[in-house]
A and B are shown apart, each in its own frame.
Chain A
Amino acid sequence: MLKQELKKVFIKRYYLLIFFALLAAELVLCVVQGGKEGLSGFDKEAYERFVNIYAGQITEEKAKQLETSFMYLDNADDLRLFGEAFYQSGDITPEEFEQLQTELEQYMSGRTGINVFREHYAYASASPAREIVNSEAWTELFSNDAADLLCVFAVIVFTVSAFVAENETSFSLLRRTTPKGRKALYRTDLKLGMVTAAGFSLICSALRLGVGLAKWSIRDFGAPLESLELFENTSFGGSLLGGYITIAILKALGAAAFCAFCFILGNLFTSSVTVLLAGLLSVLLPQYVLRDARIYYVSPVSLLRGTGFLYGNVVLEEADALPFTVSETAGTLALPISLFIAALIVLCAFLFVKKRGATK
């Protein structure tokens, strides 16, 4: 049964093509988006140079070296004037002057990049648990807090191809007359859908990581997650790479749960276009309209977001709280509740199969 379903969806309904087309679009988006952000006005080379020299734990020696460097940076203009004056009066040799010039040149041309590094360093030195990492690169990798719309599309189109479109050709009627057609076949479709959805999501995360590695030189996979300003309050004890993998897994789980949610929608609305619209809206509306974080984490698509769960205990203060909110500290409760709701959705999808046939 599984083989037949695979063949039906992927080959006969051209889902394989759609899958790869959406992956290609995802790749293009990663490259284009990242490119735009990288040109946000700071010198990438200078920044990365500093990061590569000083990466890792902050030691006394490093701190002293950095202080000297920052002093150079702040007084670069004055130092250059002094250097010229000394050179004119013959106090320093031409070679020394050349050396001073080149060093100062480094600082002055890469000023923006070094200032960005300085901010990250200030954040990192505030706590012993933090290390110096390539913050810009990692923040870019982690800053997709929204549900990935292409992934959403891939899931909805799968649901429609595999399950909902048959209502329109009255094949679903035929299906229900067979002994395995009602429950077993439906559940096979559902399992296949969840695996495909999770697979798509994981491949997307891997693609993003690949694009990031190609753009930035990242060597510090093992640094603790707290080293990023994004995760200031996190209680997650793992490393950067561990954090990324955890988020990728959460997103994959979210995609699978979303697939189950689409199957429920497919049971409710038998028309495929309606399922498309309803699925799209169920992701877009909580995300762009009801931006209150607490409602969002309780909705069926919360897991698709991923990153937010590792933010840690952020106390949300709202003057006028809506009546159906969960609690004030979104951090600790959000993950278990979202997982629970996702599990509930999957259970519903498996258990409640539409009894009567879809006659148009």
Chain B
Amino acid sequence: MGTLFLYELKKLIRQKYLIFFIILLLGVNLFNIYLNYDELLSPQQYAKDGETFALTPLRLQMDRDFAGKITNEKLARLKAHRDAAEAIFNGEESDEPMYTPYPYSDMNFAGEIITEMQRLYTYHDTVIDAVLQKNGYLETQAKAVNDRYRQRQAELIEKTYAGRSLDSYYRVNAFETVFSYRLSALFLVLLGVYSAAFLFAGEKENGMLPLLKCTPKKRALFVAKTAAFFTFVLCVGILFFSADLLTFWLCLRPSGFFQTFYAIEGYMYSILNVNILTAYLLTSFLRVLGAFFIGCAVMLLSVLLPKAWHVFFCGVLLTAALMGMSLFTDGIFGALRFFDPVTLLISIRLFETFRVVNIFGYPVFMYAAALFGNLLFGSLSLTGTWLIYKRRRGYA
């Protein structure tokens, strides 16, 4: 079985021009990040007194100096720095060394860091307390009308959000762009559809399919193909998403990879209780799964249609239809969302805030529901593919 798997993997990778397209799309992806999100690789230059300098790297230096646990001493130093900068801005003299040639920038940067630090160490008091208090009201209301579902939901909220606190300052807000970046997932899906199109339709075109069906290794072959496709998508996914992270790191220099995920300002209500690096790995893996399940559907098309380019064409239309379907959020179509692999593809939306679905009176986190729905979708596709693959008519 092992050799069969390796052969199938080799066949996938050896497709014409696949390596070319992978490199092309990777290059375009990284170029896109550089073009649209770069702040540090080629920062905007300012001029003063005949010299040019860039503000963002100096801000970076300031962030580094004050990074780490938030202490009273650091806050006092920042406030002193800001006051000194204001003094210089107003024309007075000061001994305090400035980070940038413009005292106005120093003032602003120090003020921003102070605000951010305050946001972080009051996270428990402002955000969490507010959430738990409101939750308490809702819980008492639910108890009054004996609404079991809402009571369970309130208990779940309590369990998720209680006990959270933040205590360190890092440049974590830059991570928000990293997590909400979607183009690489789209490219991954395109590459997945491209290679899945060849899985069975390629055999039909070569005339190998009837031969293969005569062998005793029919089932092993099917398993090997699926496993090889999954490995392929996983590897390309790892390539794309780690290249992403590296390029974003070079362009934005976020820090604090091991801070908790909810330290990021845009995700403060998030249900994830892990650190940022783990969160990135988790969302990337979900995206790979999403691409894999779309590939499973394309595999089903691949056994049905006689030519590989028919499969690719229908596969792209299917992907577009799935993306369109994920935009419907109400009515009967709303329930279909959980079976749509595109929901996994945009995985960050599942974790942004507290989202649950009502399944038989129990609140289930949306990521669990989506994962389960997608597994169902994937297994249905694979079962369909297997059934069509093993029927006796050997030709097409």
Contact = CB atoms under 8 A, between A and B. Distances in A.
A290 B35 contact: yes
A273 interface: yes
B196 to A, nearest CB: 11
Interface in A142-191: 149, 153, 157, 160, 165, 168
B312 interface: yes
Contact of A289 (B16, B17, B32, B197): B32
Interface centre among B31, B205, B309, B313 (most CB of A within 10 A): B309
Interface residues of A, number: 23
B16 A277 contact: no
Contact of B312 (A273, A285, A292): A273
B124 interface: no
A203 interface: no
A280 interface: yes
A276 B32 contact: no
Interface string A223-241: 0000000000000000000
A298 to B, nearest CB: 16
Given A269-B16, A289-B32, A165 B307 contact: yes
B17 A271 contact: yes
B44 A271 contact: no
Contacts of A272: 307-309
Interface of A (DSSP majority class): helix
Contacts of A275: 309
B316 interface: yes
Contacts of B21: 274, 277, 281
Interface string B77-104: 0000000000000000000000000000
B352 to A, nearest CB: 23
A78 interface: no
Determine the interface band of chain B, counting residues with CB < 8 A from chain A: 20 to 34
A274 B16 contact: yes
Interface string A70-100: 0000000000000000000000000000000
A25 to B, nearest CB: 9
Interface string B255-272: 000000000000000000
B42 interface: yes
Contacts of A292: 35
Contacts of A160: 309
Interface string A262-283: 0000000101111111001100
Given A269-B17, A274-B17, A165 B309 contact: yes
B309 A273 contact: yes
A17 to B, nearest CB: 12
A315 interface: no
A290 B309 contact: no
B19 to A, nearest CB: 12
Contacts of B16: 269, 271, 274
B208 interface: no
B198 interface: yes
A346 B190 CA distance: 28
Contacts of B24: 281
Interface string B309-351: 1011100110010000000000000000000000000000000
B194 interface: yes
A288 B36 CA distance: 12
A1 interface: no
B45 to A, nearest CB: 9
Interface in A2-42: none
A61 interface: no
A285 B27 CA distance: 12
A319 interface: yes
B28 interface: yes
Contacts of A271: 16-17
A273 B28 contact: no
Contact of B194 (A153, A157, A273, A285): A273
A320 interface: yes
Contacts of B212: none
B220 interface: no
B282 interface: no
Nearest to A169: B205
Interface in B277-322: 307-309, 311-313, 316-317, 320
Contacts of A319: 44
B200 to A, nearest CB: 13
Interface string A241-274: 0000000000000000000000000000101111
B183 interface: yes
Interface in B169-203: 183, 190, 194, 197-198
Contacts of B190: 277, 280-281
A126 to B, nearest CB: 34
Contacts of B197: 273
A16 to B, nearest CB: 16
A157 B313 contact: yes
B319 to A, nearest CB: 11
A285 B29 CA distance: 10
Interface centre among B42, B197, B313, B317 (most CB of A within 10 A): B313
Contacts of A149: 320
A285 B21 CA distance: 12
Contacts of B42: 320
A277 B307 CA distance: 15
Contacts of B17: 269, 271, 274
A224 to B, nearest CB: 37
Given A273-B197, A277-B194, A289-B183, A168 B32 contact: no
Given A165-B307, A168-B205, A289-B183, A276 B35 contact: no
Contacts of A274: 16-17, 21
A157 B307 CA distance: 13
A281 B24 CA distance: 10
B372 to A, nearest CB: 30
Contacts of A269: 16-17
Interface in B217-248: none
Contacts of B312: 273, 276-277
A280 B28 contact: no
Contacts of B25: 281
14 contacts: A153-B316, A168-B307, A272-B307, A272-B308, A273-B194, A273-B312, A276-B309, A276-B312, A276-B313, A277-B190, A281-B24, A281-B25, A288-B183, A289-B32
Given A165-B307, A280-B190, A288-B183, 10 more contacts: A274-B17, A275-B309, A276-B309, A276-B313, A277-B21, A281-B25, A281-B190, A285-B28, A290-B31, A320-B44
Interface of B: 16-17, 21, 24-25, 28, 31-32, 35, 42, 44, 183, 190, 194, 197-198, 205, 307-309, 311-313, 316-317, 320
